[in-house]
Structure 1
Amino acid sequence: MTADMTSNRTARPDRYDAIIVGSGIGSLVCGGYLAADGRRVLVLEQHDVAGGNAHVFRRRRRYEFDVGTHYLGDCGTDGIIPAILSGLGVGDRVRFRPMDNERGFDRVITPTTTLDVPSGWDNYRDRLKRALPGEAAGIDTFIDLSKTATALSRASVLGEPVVDLYRANPEVTRWSRRSLGKVFHHCGFSPRARTLLAAQYGNYGALPDDIGFSVHAGLMDHYMRGAYYPEGGGQVLVATLVEALEGHGGELRTRTAVARILIENDTAVGVELADGERILAPLVISNADYRRTVLDLCGGEAAFPAHLVRQTREATMRCPLTAVYVALDTELPDIPNANIWWHDSDDLERAHARMIEEEMREVPQLIFSFASVKDAGAPNVCPPGHSNFQIMTVCPPGHEFWGVDKSPADGERYRRNAAYLARKKQLTDTILATAEKVIGPFRDRITHLETATPLTNERYILASGGTPYGIGNWGGVGKRPDVRTGVEGLYVVGQSTRYGSGVGGTATGGMVCASQVLDRPLLGEVHQGAVVGDPSRLPDRGPDWDPLRVSRGRARQTAKGLARIG
């Protein structure tokens, strides 16, 4: 199969070893390691800055809001994220602030219970038993399954021999392939127990019957190893990876949209940009939305077997989110160094179904993330004495809920649409009124208020359905594509791969992709202390160092339009 190769522009000579489409965490990790190995790497990003869902935006020269970096797990001395950074030679450039891991990094609130979730599986077990004394046996079963399943998964990702371990744990292997809902049923949990255990489903955007048990357990294990926030915000992590990429000879181009991935004789040969320019390379890695990669960038059946195209076209996405960004001219009282997960029901699954059926006339759950508490005193977050936080909620899928006919990626000009604006205002007002019931009154102290809907996310990130979580069902619950595709020289990374959502999952997927390209077990090596990158090649950071500027790429650092703080 051969994709259409007609063009009025001449292809640029093959002077890159790899082209990466999109600049999320997965692609920056992968690109950094390929560059550190000596490969000539080009990363292309259609937005003004790198980072994907991990980027930030600034408002009023006083506030910086993280789009998707709300907390990170596993950032201790044995952590995978620090190991990935250290392996690139940039481990000392990102500092991680611990959240309240002893008292609780997540606070779950339901009508009958407040549960503070601590780090450590056994500490979590004890808190659950105190909250659910009648369900101790089921809790023991669930925690034991989770601990064993995640230990096996971690060993596998780190390249350790696991065949005998899996053979010795057939029950865990069997349950790891099933949905979280089926494991809940196996444990005999009540709706209240299911609600407390799945309360943080906003971390992956799917209800228990629609998510694999291994996904849930893996995300929880990530935070059971300690919850952290990157000092200076998520853009610091992005900028550090950009420095590693560029320091090792790679190139980041922002404001550069890719129109097509070029495929000849079942082999990726480069990309064509939106302006018609072609750039050739023997390796293409797509960090673009997986459905768009297969169906649009690669031309569907022109590059892939019909069954894979059909499976991708029929794939469902995980839940979309609406986020309200709030700044206040005062500090909020009694806010813990934790996220708050509030539910208006002890049966979150029934409440979610009601939300869909009633088109969200009420908000059944909210997620609060307090940047000014997690990164207290950071000058980029807010002025002293102010607050900066987000309130998020999952919302119904589909464009119809928002009063539009198609997606922004397909040309929908929605931002002045009266129906869209009315829905956005109604939902924002409802979220704010509900939030005040949880954390107390604050609306009269607001200095900045902004709402991002799934259409906003789709416009900036080009994510199908506007979800930050990627594919939900790709031919089966929990089934997702791997990084290697059936096209020679074409790989994928990002939120829709089998390695998971969030910074930890996408970074791991980026490492797996680089490992397959370079044919070496990178993650295991760096976790054992290997350093692939060369710190001497990194740029110095002066007193005016700005991660947002760095994240525009070296060629555009001084371009106009950069928002500033102060």
Structure 2
Amino acid sequence: MSTATGGTAGDWDAIVVGSGIGGLVCAGYLVAAGRRVLVLEQHDVAGGNSHVFRRRRAYEFDVGVHYLGDCGPGGLLPSILGGLGLGERVRFHPMDPDGFDRIVLPSVTVDVPVGWPRYLDRLRQALPAEAEGLTRYIEICEAVARTCRTNATSAPGGKLPAVMLRWSRRTLTQLFDHCGLSARARTVLAAQSGNYGSAPASTLVVAHTMMIDDYLRGAYYPEGGGQTVAAALVELLESHGGTLLTKTRVGRVLVEHGRVAGVELTDGTEFRAPVVVSNADYRRTVLELCGGNENLPDAVVDRARDARMRLPTAVCYVALDRELPEQPNSNIWYWPNEDVEGAYARVEAGDLDELPFAFLSFASIKDPVPGSCCPPGHTNFQIMTACPPGYRHWGLDEGPARGARYRRDEAYLAAKNRLTDQMLDLAEAAIGPFREHLVHLETSTPVTQERYTLSTGGSAYGLQSWGRTGQRPDVRTGIEGLFLTGQNIHHGGGIVGVATSGAACASAILDRAVLPEVCRGAIYGNPELLPDRGADWDPLRVSRGAKRRDARGLAKLDHVAPAGS
């Protein structure tokens, strides 16, 4: 047996498959607790949906970090990073507290501010005829969110309040019905559903309220872009004795006598450890990496096979040779139709003749680091929308995870180009004409997402239903020593959610209440071990891992000032 690090069998206490933020957070807490940890990533850079890519030596685009909630002092993500000793390594810049999200419908516009009371005031001002129903809705959501946060950050115990017993397994549509809200009000309230990728009828009240509660505590953007979060976690991992290997794909999880024994790479190399954490797609973990029925009960395999994913998304990356006039530091959610339920139903049925929404995220306005994502005087922004599940819309029979070649397929390119034009049309309807100032345009489809992350169907948001609507697996599995983290477990949902999942997974392995401890100020990591950051510090380079840090092919930006420490 060979190992890529030159070690022998049993050299690792834990192996993490996948280097998304959930996997890196879990690995960070394990290595900070003294465990020998190996992280394996099939892509050439760590970070999952937090990573960036660069074009023309001028533009840097965030793949999935558009904005983060609750990143002020004492916030959830800063507490998780702070518990690793990274509190000074990642800085978050606040977006406009008076309106971090602008929701635009044909007949009404709502600027979403920080704070539940101010949010309710804005809603009642915009929809005065529905003030009573909106008040009831906000009271329920705020109570649910408060309970969820208390449960996540405190030691377990105590009875659930009545509001949770009533609403924890009900959908957003059922809550809308209970409050007697119109189609227009429902669209305003669910306009930000693109943050989790499912319709109100397929979304638990808990999932929606956890998302909106994070942002109502303040919306932020990481200074220097999303890659800075992953890079800080890689620095923590490596400085505490762990190892990250990129461009290293796991073929299967080794299971012997009912418990984990390590992993085997696609090239036959084996690494052995008594603990394996899968930050990979849940369905691929069960059906492929773990061998399905060979190692797991039929019921578990059947449930994974029948599970449905949240809707995938497409993102259009745009660069302009001018700045946008008078654009505030906020996102835009543009809904051309005021029926959110109908819009999602059409997408789920495979109809994209009319896009459900366009989400516009302006990185060059959010990031205070000069020139971090585009040259001075230019604009860098993204347009996102939801797409149908499966491959039919793209003219394909299967995806790249199974080896499908698609990038020059005529049907695929036709569908992609048509979608790009549609997204540009919606964006111009939201902010005015800009096509004549385009200097870079590139679209990522769900097929692209699958290629880079191996997620089922290219969904960035994980499972929609696992047995029943909204249900998801926990961090533990039916195999001793195998644990889960990431978008597919019940903590997951966006960057903050997967970071929480990583802390929860580490808690199960270490048998410690990690999240409550760090929220009270506990620090596992040793900041003194972290490396100095020189004037040429580059988070993308760091995220390649020590063994590939100086490999050829690293894209750079000509105009960027040195990052420094």
| Contact 1:18 1:42 (C-alpha < 8 Å) held by counterparts | yes
| Contact 2:223 2:368 (C-alpha < 8 Å) held by counterparts | no
Partner in structure 1 of residue 118 of structure 2: 123
Aligned to 1:156, which of 132, 151, 154?
151
Of the structure 1 ranges 83-92 and 356-365, higher mean CA displacement relative to structure 2 is found in 356-365
Q: Which secondary structure does the structure 2 equivalent of 1:42 belong to? A: strand
Q: How does 1:188-227 map to 2 (within 5 A)?
A: 188-227=180-219
Q: Residue 484 of structure 2 aligns to which amino acid in structure 1?
A: V
5+ residue gaps, structure 1: none
Of the structure 1 ranges 540-549 and 374-383, higher mean CA displacement relative to structure 2 is found in 374-383
Shift of 1:12: 4.3
Partner in structure 1 of residue 357 of structure 2: 365
Q: Which secondary structure does the structure 1 equivalent of 2:468 belong to? A: coil
CA distance in 1, matches of 2:444, 2:241: 36
Partner in structure 2 of residue 409 of structure 1: 401
Q: Which secondary structure does the structure 2 equivalent of 1:260 belong to? A: strand
Partner in structure 2 of residue 274 of structure 1: 266
Find out whether 1:525 has 2:535 as its counterpart.
no
Aligned to 1:56, which of 38, 52, 59?
52
| Contact 1:152 1:162 (C-alpha < 8 Å) held by counterparts | no
| Contact 1:377 1:384 (C-alpha < 8 Å) held by counterparts | no
Partner in structure 1 of residue 108 of structure 2: 113
Of the structure 1 ranges 373-382 and 47-56, higher mean CA displacement relative to structure 2 is found in 373-382
Aligned to 2:93, which of 78, 93, 97?
97
| Contact 2:356 2:386 (C-alpha < 8 Å) held by counterparts | no
CA distance in 1, matches of 2:192, 2:386: 12
Deviations 1:389-415 (A, max 9, x none): 000110111101000110110111011
Find out whether 1:68 has 2:53 as its counterpart.
no
CA distance in 2, matches of 1:351, 1:294: 32
Distance 1:381 1:11, change over 3 A: closer
| Contact 1:457 1:467 (C-alpha < 8 Å) held by counterparts | yes
| Contact 1:149 1:173 (C-alpha < 8 Å) held by counterparts | no
Partner in structure 2 of residue 250 of structure 1: 242
Q: Which secondary structure does the structure 2 equivalent of 1:107 belong to? A: strand
TM-score when normalising by structure 2: 0.96
Aligned CA RMSD, in angstroms, stands at: 1.4
Partner in structure 2 of residue 289 of structure 1: 281
Q: Residue 84 of structure 1 aligns to which amino acid in structure 2?
A: I
Aligned to 1:303, which of 283, 295, 301?
295
Shift of 1:357: 5.1
Deviations 1:228-252 (A, max 9, x none): 0000000001100111111111100
Q: How does 1:125-524 map to 2 (within 5 A)?
A: 125-160=120-155, 162-164=157-159, 166=160, 169-355=161-347, 359-524=351-516
Deviations 1:56-98 (A, max 9, x none): 0000111000000000011111201111111111100111000
| Contact 1:215 1:500 (C-alpha < 8 Å) held by counterparts | no
Shift of 1:362: 2.7
Q: Residue 102 of structure 2 aligns to which amino acid in structure 1?
A: R
Aligned to 2:33, which of 32, 37, 51?
37
Shift of 1:511: 0.3
Distance 1:429 1:173, change over 3 A: same
Deviations 1:311-356 (A, max 9, x none): 1101111011010000011001121211100001111211333455
| Contact 1:286 1:491 (C-alpha < 8 Å) held by counterparts | yes
| Contact 1:12 1:277 (C-alpha < 8 Å) held by counterparts | no
Q: Residue 412 of structure 2 aligns to which amino acid in structure 1?
A: Y
Partner in structure 2 of residue 545 of structure 1: 537
Q: How does 1:16-31 map to 2 (within 5 A)?
A: 16-31=12-27
CA distance in 2, matches of 1:560, 1:438: 41
Q: Which secondary structure does the structure 2 equivalent of 1:92 belong to? A: coil
Q: Residue 20 of structure 1 aligns to which amino acid in structure 2?
A: V
| Contact 2:334 2:426 (C-alpha < 8 Å) held by counterparts | no
CA distance in 2, matches of 1:185, 1:234: 38
CA distance in 2, matches of 1:503, 1:256: 23
Q: Residue 220 of structure 2 aligns to which amino acid in structure 1?
A: Y
| Contact 2:400 2:406 (C-alpha < 8 Å) held by counterparts | yes
| Contact 1:311 1:474 (C-alpha < 8 Å) held by counterparts | yes
Deviations 1:177-201 (A, max 9, x none): 1111111111111111110100000
Q: Which secondary structure does the structure 2 equivalent of 1:430 belong to? A: helix
> Percent identity over the alignment?
56
Q: Which secondary structure does the structure 2 equivalent of 1:337 belong to? A: coil
Of the structure 1 ranges 554-563 and 369-378, higher mean CA displacement relative to structure 2 is found in 369-378
| Contact 1:12 1:278 (C-alpha < 8 Å) held by counterparts | no
CA distance in 2, matches of 1:137, 1:522: 41
Deviations 1:30-57 (A, max 9, x none): 0001000000000000000000111000
Aligned to 1:535, which of 527, 534, 546?
527
Q: Which secondary structure does the structure 1 equivalent of 2:457 belong to? A: helix
Q: Which secondary structure does the structure 2 equivalent of 1:438 belong to? A: helix
Shift of 1:530: 1.0
CA distance in 1, matches of 2:373, 2:7: 44
Q: Residue 87 of structure 1 aligns to which amino acid in structure 2?
A: G
CA distance in 2, matches of 1:143, 1:162: 26
Shift of 1:274: 0.9
CA distance in 2, matches of 1:516, 1:353: 38
Q: Which secondary structure does the structure 2 equivalent of 1:541 belong to? A: coil
Shift of 1:541: 0.3
Partner in structure 1 of residue 561 of structure 2: none
Shift of 1:302: 1.0
Shift of 1:556: 0.8
Partner in structure 2 of residue 46 of structure 1: 42
CA distance in 2, matches of 1:532, 1:113: 48
Shift of 1:134: 1.6
Shift of 1:152: 1.2
5+ residue gaps, structure 2: 559-565
Q: Which secondary structure does the structure 2 equivalent of 1:396 belong to? A: coil
Deviations 1:145-188 (A, max 9, x none): 11111111111111245514x2xx21332212111111111111
Q: Residue 125 of structure 1 aligns to which amino acid in structure 2?
A: L
Partner in structure 1 of residue 562 of structure 2: none
| Contact 1:11 1:278 (C-alpha < 8 Å) held by counterparts | no
Distance 1:53 1:95, change over 3 A: same
